[in-house]
Amino acid sequence: MTGGFIFGIILIVIALILIFSCVCIVPQASAWVVEFLGQYKASWEAGLHFKVPFFYRVVKKVSLKEQVADFEPQPVITKDNVTMMVDSVVFFEVFDPKLFSYGVERPIAAIENLSATTLRNIIGSMTLDETLTSRDSINGQITSILDEATDKWGIKVNRVEVKNIQPPKTIQDAMEKQMRAEREKREAILTAEGKKQSAITLAEGEKEAAILRADAVKEQRIREAEGEAQALLAVQRAQAESIKLINEAAPSAQYLTLKQYEAAVNMANGQATKIIVPSDISGLAGTVGAIAETARKE
């Protein structure tokens, strides 16, 4: 009984192993390609699946995620015979596990070779300057060509990016010199523009200052003239008021004669070289003497 019991346990273990080997759990974003007796049977998607032992075989496990293939730099010759090293990155995903498994041997290597040849064809029709300035165009052309060519392999090429374009060392040195010359040229232009603007600003400042000074002198002269006019007007008004008061006071003939004498004296004290003496100056002198006598009596 002991031997039979052990044999039974062994059979149970073998049966459990066979049962568990028939259970397959496909993870998310994956697909398994299954063959039945060496022929394609199905592509299992994510989930629980069962297979018949010894008849079903999982030949390939395919990832359905977007994948990145980074290829080594490739020598490429431009239209103007410049050899450059160009490397690219391909972003792709598998949409048909069956075609991916049976469409081509080593599909990643096939994509790399196809990408290299396509890149050589595209850049070979462009000059160096066009290559350096048309990266987006190159990416679009490679993506379109690879996507169309890889459909029969069950691969969808989403995009291709050219990472680096490395011209020869001599070309790089020449480009650096050209860029340095352009920077120096721009710097000289900016410096000249700055000096020009500074000179213009300084000239405008001096012009405005001269205008302000002229306006100040003009204002000063106008005010001085107005002051002199007002002073003269005040003197004339004072004289007019004095004459008015004299007229209102009805001055006597002796007073008027005295004023004439004072005017004659003032004329004699001035700078004039000629003095006009009235014809009645003798009478004026007598009148003055009479007035003085009258004043002493009082």
Whether residue 290 contacts residue 254, with contact meaning beta carbons closer than 8 Å, is answered with yes
Reading the block at residue 233, the tokens are: 């007007």
pLDDT > 90? residue 157: yes
Average pLDDT value for the chain = 80
pLDDT > 60? residue 289: no
The CA distances from residue 130 to 75, 161, 179, in Å, are 17, 17, 17
Type of residue found at 213: R
pLDDT > 60? residue 290: no
pLDDT > 90? residue 1: no
- Average pLDDT of the segment spanning 68-81: 87
- Structure confidence at residue 223 (pLDDT): 85
Q: How far is CA 242 from the centre of its chain?
A: 81
294 pLDDT band (50/70/90 cuts)? very low
Q: Which residues partner with 32 through β-bridges?
A: 44, 61
297 pLDDT band (50/70/90 cuts)? very low
Q: Tell me the C-alpha distance between 96 and 103, whole Å.
A: 10
Q: Tell me the C-alpha distance between 26 and 93, whole Å.
A: 18
- Structure confidence at residue 81 (pLDDT): 86
Rg (CA), the chain: 60
Summarize pLDDT for 206-218 with one digit per residue, the tens: 888 888 888 888 8
- Structure confidence at residue 96 (pLDDT): 92
**pTM attached to this predicted model:** 0.55
The candidate with the shortest Cα–Cα distance to 109, out of 139, 69, 74, 141, is: 69
Q: Which residues partner with 36 through β-bridges?
A: 39, 56
Q: What percentage of residues in the chain have a pLDDT greater than 90?
A: 15
